[in-house]
């Protein structure tokens, strides 16, 4: 079944066309990124995969809006030389990544006018993502009128959290009237990792307990008990929790008033600084973990401090989640940093032997791309590195929603 996965951002559209039967039998036919929509020069990077060969095409042309961007995607997918299908009608379903639906949906849903109204209702709680996500849906409906459109929400997996985990200790009517609560994000990734962990360790999903550690540009953790999320580190927005490339993570909210008073920043500038100028970048000037590790290894004291802070925050969350999930089977590293940075994994696991976390240094350092275990033989807790695949998860859920299987 051919499924197109779309992740529309404010000036970009990420896409992947898959032909899939199930989680193990699928092929990526094409993938790409439309960037700089609305800017002087737009760019489309389009890659096709045929007979094990990868071919990449780059186009640079101004793209006025998402409609023009999507029209290039359709043209490239159906192009006799650069395409992989003859007609857009071959696409049997479109799966959209959507940031937030609050508490309204706890699963993937077929897009209807009511679903679109809900996505709109949550614009204030996902101001950077929900509006372009909805735009992506509306242009896809125009270009693929016969294909069912499906929304996969980044918050859905976390809807199983109990109130003690998702409520903030603030006036209760902020929750009942204004919907303020922890929603969590990266849900599609944490769900994929939960299923992949159950499969890797050979346990039924309903008996699998784990701590999922997603370390990419954004970083978050999920505590999973019996296959269901019971707590997560991101909050009402993706700013809370772990230290990230440019986000502060947890902070004392009263500090905002103090710094705003001293600097004259308004609240928008402050939240922007916490989202874009903080985290690793705020401490050592760079946000790419490869550069931070390199600088720290070269003796840069600020980079060393940033690295220590990043890993220490994760250690604290591991401690907290081991307390709330009894009998954890595995802690699992995923995403750009989690999958690729042996030094970061080593720093996180070092000193946690008393919690059953015993890393095998050689296995950790060995270069590999696939799923793997990196704990010492006989250790009480498994430590795994599992590649996440959010596009595959979206495609699978889209297919399931359409076919019921």
Which of 330, 337 has the CB closer to ligand ADP? 337
Closest distance of CB 64 from ligand ADP, Å: 26
**Which one among 83, 102, 187, 216 touches ligand ADP, defined by CB under 6 A?**
216
Which of 130, 341 has the CB closer to ligand ADP? 341
Q: Cα(329)–Cα(12) distance, rounded to whole angstroms?
A: 39
Tokens of 99: 């940031």
CB under 6 A: which stretch of 46-54, 140-148, 214-222, 223-231 binds ligand ADP? 214-222
CB atoms within 10 A of CB 200: 19
Q: Is 154 a catalytic residue?
A: yes
Which of 104, 293 has the CB closer to ligand ADP? 293
CB under 6 A: which stretch of 16-24, 57-65, 332-340, 364-372 binds ligand ADP? 332-340
Q: How far is CA 83 from CA 17, 54, 76, 279, in A?
A: 11, 12, 5, 41
Q: Which of 254, 253, 306 minimizes the C-alpha distance to 281?
A: 306
When CB distances to ligand ADP are compared, the closest residue is: 336
Closest distance of CB 233 from ligand ADP, Å: 14
Q: Which of 241, 250, 237, 219 minimizes the C-alpha distance to 122?
A: 237
Q: How far is CA 321 from CA 62, 246, 247, 259, 317, in A?
A: 48, 24, 22, 32, 6
Closest distance of CB 190 from ligand ADP, Å: 13
Q: Which residues of 343-372 are buried (b: 16+ CB within 10 A; e: fewer)?
A: bbbebbbeebeebebbbbeebbeeeeeebb
User: Which of 22, 51, 79, 154 is flagged as catalytic?
Assistant: 154
Residues numbered 239 to 298 that lie near ligand ADP (CB under 6 A) are 245, 288-290, 293
Q: Cα(81)–Cα(59) distance, rounded to whole angstroms?
A: 14
Closest distance of CB 341 from ligand ADP, Å: 4
From residue 333 to residue 362, the character string flagging contacts with ligand ADP as x (rule: CB under 6 A) and all else as - is --xxx--xx---------------------
According to DSSP, the residues that pair with 152 across neighbouring strands are 97
φ, ψ dihedrals at 125, nearest 5°: -95, -5
> Which spans of this chain sit near ligand ADP (rule: CB under 6 A)?
216-218, 245, 288-290, 293, 335-337, 340-341
Active site residues: 154
């Amino acid at each position: 079944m051919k499924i197109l996965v779309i992740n529309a951002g404010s000036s970009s559209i990420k896409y992947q066309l898959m032909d899939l039967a199930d989680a193990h039998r699928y092929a990526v036919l094409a993938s790409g990124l439309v960037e700089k929509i609305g800017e002087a020069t737009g760019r489309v990077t389009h890659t096709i995969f045929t007979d094990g060969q990868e071919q990449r095409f780059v186009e640079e042309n101004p793209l006025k809006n998402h409609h023009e961007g999507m029209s290039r995607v359709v043209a490239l997918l159906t192009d006799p030389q650069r395409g992989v299908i003859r007609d857009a009608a071959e696409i049997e379903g479109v799966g959209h990544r959507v940031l937030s639906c609050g508490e309204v949906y706890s699963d993937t849903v077929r897009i209807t006018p009511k679903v679109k109204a809900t996505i709109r209702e949550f614009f204030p709680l996902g101001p950077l993502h929900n509006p372009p996500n909805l735009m992506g849906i509306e242009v896809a409906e125009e270009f693929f009128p016969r294909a069912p459109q499906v929304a996969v929400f980044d918050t859905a997996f976390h809807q199983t959290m109990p109130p003690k985990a998702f409520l903030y200790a603030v006036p209760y009517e902020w929750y009942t009237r204004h919907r303020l609560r922890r929603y969590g994000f990266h849900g599609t990734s944490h769900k994929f990792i939960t299923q992949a962990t159950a499969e890797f360790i050979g346990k039924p999903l309903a008996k699998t307990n784990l701590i999922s550690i997603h370390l990419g540009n954004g970083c978050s953790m999920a505590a999973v008990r019996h296959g269901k999320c019971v707590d997560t580190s991101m909050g009402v927005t993706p700013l809370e929790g772990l230290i990230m490339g440019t986000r502060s993570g947890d902070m004392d909210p009263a500090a905002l008033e103090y710094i705003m008073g001293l600097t004259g920043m308004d609240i928008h500038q402050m939240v922007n600084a916490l989202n874009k100028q903080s985290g690793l970048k705020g401490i050592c000037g760079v946000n790419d973990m490869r550069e931070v590790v390199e600088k720290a290894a070269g003796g840069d004291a600020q980079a060393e401090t940033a690295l220590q802070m990043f890993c220490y925050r994760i250690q604290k969350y591991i401690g907290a989640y081991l307390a709330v999930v009894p009998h954890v089977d595995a802690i699992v590293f995923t995403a750009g940093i989690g999958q690729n940075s042996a030094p970061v994994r080593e720093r996180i696991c070092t000193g946690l032997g008393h919690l059953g976390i015993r890393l095998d240094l050689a296995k950790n350092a060995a270069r590999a791309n696939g799923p793997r275990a990196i704990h010492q033989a006989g250790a009480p807790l498994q430590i795994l590195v599992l590649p996440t695949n959010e596009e595959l998860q979206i495609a699978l859920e889209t297919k399931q929603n359409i076919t019921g299987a």
